[in-house]
Amino acid sequence: MKTTDTPPPVEPVEDRTQVVKEKVPPEKAKSSEGGILNAFSHGILIIWAIMVVLPLLWAVMTSFKDDDSIFSSPWSLPDKLHFDNWSRAWSQAHMSDYFGNTLIVVGFSLVGTLVLGSMAAYVLARFEFPGNRFIYFLFVGGMSFPIMLALVPLFYVLNNMSLLNTLPGLILVYIAYSLPFTVFFLTSFFRTLPTSIAEAAFVDGASHTRTFFQIMLPMAKPGLVSVGIFNFLGQWNQYMLPTVLNTDPDKKVLSQGLVELATSQGYKGDWSGLFAGLVMAMLPVLAAYIIFQRQVVQGLTAGALK
Amino acid sequence: MQHGKYRFIVGFLVAPLALYAIFVIWPFVQAIYYSFTDWTGLSPDFKMVGFANYTRMLHDDIFWKSLQHSLLFALLLPLVTLGLALFFAFMLNVGGRRRKGAAITGVRGSGFYKIAYFFPQVLSIAIVSLLFQFAYNPNDGVINGTLKAIGLGSVQPDWLGDPNLALWCVMAVLLWSTVGFFVVLFSAGMASIPKDFYEAALLDGASRATTFFKITLPLLWDTVQSGWVYMGILALGAEAFAAVQIMTVGPGGPDYSTTVLPLYVYQSAFRDANAAYATTIGVALLIVTLLFAAIVMRLGRRERLEF
């Protein structure tokens, strides 16, 4: 709207102030056009929400049905809650083992990733030494390499070290492949922390190591939480690394175990057991997400926004 | 600060660096070396064969198919995903009806949408793939069941069994599982754009489409760009591997219609016992990934807007 040279008619000006101050809907034609657009885009938003939520709800519902009704009436509610599906999946289909293995692997590798990652990041962020940049880019470059390429030789490296198909081997690999992002993220985080406190501690006679563990780490807590959530989800959901490097049926982790379950239950025709297993794996993460919603979102998006 | 500095630096770097070198860097270096040998992976003996593996690769139809599919995953899929995510994020943050107090708001219920859209992101791609594999089943699957129920009994595609449809089915699943992440990411970016910009544009009579293209997109460009690189790397690597390997028949079928580079590397090495050839395809994947990242970063370079 140009109102500079021609003397403005009074109406539009009034109209404008109305829009801003009183939120009176603009002229008729405009509002109906806006209304259609609004309804249309709101409709798409609702459809997408349904498309996301419905399959998950449907999976939960299906896990309580018996095998016949899964196929005969996929959309109806279960006649009664078949909890036996869940107990069958938990014990007979080894879901309990998969859970246990995943907890061990993710527990150790998460702690290992955070400790080693923050140590490397701290040194790279705060100390000048020859090769600093080189090491930093060595770590960061790892983010864009296709992991699959390394997995072929890594399979034989682990085999030679007798670490293939063992949980400790998997833990070490998880840590190593989580380092690039962790170092990248925490290096920029440590750079934002003030230097004066660490210097004061150093003047007071604290060693570098002590300064790091007692002063810098507590200060870096928000960053550690973000990167910790990112790594937790990545490692908990990891599928490619265990598929290649951990093929022993007794050592399988959750995601591969589920795929295994799908194959074997498919033969047995135990679909309800499979769905119980799927939902069992799905619910803890979803519940954790809903509870820690804000932190999870921050943790997962922080890296890309840096 | 000098006292014991180098001892401290070495002490702190040695463990992470050693782990990283042994399990990440060294295998990459080895992989490139192996691509010039005839190593099978089964026996420790092998000899150098020069570029034989590379020549073979260039004449391998399955390689070209995998490459084509992977490129589609890296270029088309992010385009659709990011486009949809931008639209959703704009609606949720700026697109709302003008209400009292604030000129710029999201549509009603935007908080709920942001939470719900993010659900698939926290689930393992394995779970998502299994769910959809079940839904795509042509006989008992939910999708065809629903089509029947609404009177489209004659339209019963084979989905993952149809060579012309299978790849699109896989892409739809990856789209489904990643859009939410970018909605939330872009929402965070949009929240940092000052409201005055929108208010000024609206005062000048700009439509919502104009505000999107003239204000939101330029100011969000850096985020969109890094999002594209991030999504492309995932779609060239782990995500595509998992989705194709779990969902499709074969896997990679029917008739190689869904095979992707990481899957072909995996199959060559661990199914066909041809580790050297697998690393050759892996090197091609490495080149494609690096080129992709370089091109997207370069094409997208613009003057940085400060605000």
pLDDT digits (tens, 9 = 90+) for A202-257: 888 888 888 888 888 888 888 888 888 888 888 998 998 998 888 888 888 988 88
Mean pLDDT of A14-41: 51
The partner residues of B95 in beta bridges, in order of sequence, read: B105
**pTM, to two decimals:** 0.84
Residue of B81, B123, B182, B192 to mutate for A, most A C-beta atoms under 10 A: B123
Contact call for B185 and A304, based on CB within 8 A? yes
Please tell me which of the candidates B20, B99, B266 has its beta carbon nearest to residue A139: B20
Contact residues, chain A, for B190 at CB < 8 Å: none
Contact criterion met (CB below 8 Å) for B111 and B183 = no
What is residue B5's predicted lDDT score, i.e. its pLDDT? 80
Residues A128, A251, single domain; the answer is yes
**Domain-wise residue ranges, chain B:** 55-299
Domain contains A2: no
pLDDT digits (tens, 9 = 90+) for B171-225: 999 999 999 889 988 888 888 888 888 888 888 887 778 888 888 888 888 888 8
**Å between B218 CA and nearest CA of chain A:** 15
User: Considering only alpha carbons, which residue of chain A is nearest residue B235?
Assistant: A146
Domain contains A121: yes
Residues A161, A208, single domain; the answer is yes
Domain contains A238: yes
Domain contains A152: yes
Residues A261, A186, single domain; the answer is yes
Domain count, chain A: 2
pLDDT digits (tens, 9 = 90+) for A82-135: 778 788 878 877 888 888 999 999 999 999 999 999 999 999 998 888 888 999
Whether pLDDT at A276 is above 80:
yes
Residues A31, A129, single domain; the answer is no
CATH number, domain at A157? 1.10.3720.10
Residues A157, A262, single domain; the answer is yes
> What CATH topology corresponds to B55-299?
MetI-like fold (1.10.3720)
What is residue A4's predicted lDDT score, i.e. its pLDDT? 42
Residues A295, A172, single domain; the answer is yes
What is residue B251's predicted lDDT score, i.e. its pLDDT? 83
Residues A53, A130, single domain; the answer is no
CA distance A123 to A216: 11
Helix (H) or strand (E) holding B203: helix B195-203
Contact call for A45 and B208, based on CB within 8 A? no
Contact residues, chain B, for A20 at CB < 8 Å: 103, 199, 203
Domain contains A261: yes
Residues A40, A101, single domain; the answer is no
Residues A51, A169, single domain; the answer is no
Residues A130, A16, single domain; the answer is no
Higher-pLDDT residue of A264, A235: A235
Residue ranges making up the domain that contains A227: 86-305
Whether pLDDT at B23 is above 50:
yes
Mean pLDDT of B246-255: 82
**Å between A31 CA and nearest CA of chain B:** 10
Domain contains A57: yes
